[in-house]
Amino acid sequence: MKNYRAFDVKYIGPTDTKGARIRIHDTRHDKRIIIDFDYEENNGIYTTAADHLTKFRSIPIIGLSETNHGYLLFTDNFDTMIKE
């Protein structure tokens, strides 16, 4: 069975001081990043998260699964960290 690295993706609603955001949690390394969610782009949260990981972290996303609270994104890249 093939092993993958998972990222737990969750929507964080806007507050009085911050707009909507997306939390990406690297379940393997227990690291988290939070990125802005742009409603004008009209992409889903998993698409925005996958684009961020691919474009800004060079982590290719090769799979997706829904959960009760968000999404899981999968990659076969185990080396690249989501935080510097």
The 3-state DSSP class for residue 41 equals helix
Q: Would you say residue 39 has pLDDT above 90?
A: no
Confidence of residue 41 (pLDDT cuts 50, 70, 90): confident
* 81 in a structural domain: no
Question: Considering only CA atoms, which of 80, 50, 83, 79 is closest in space to residue 65?
Answer: 50
- Percent of the chain past pLDDT 70, that is, above it, reads 99
Q: Would you say residue 48 has pLDDT above 80?
A: yes
Range of the domain at 24: 5-75
The 3-state DSSP class for residue 81 equals coil
pTM of the model: 0.92
Q: Would you say residue 42 has pLDDT above 90?
A: no
**Number of structural domains, the chain?**
1
Return the higher-pLDDT residue of 34 and 38: 34
* 83 in a structural domain: no
* 69 in a structural domain: yes
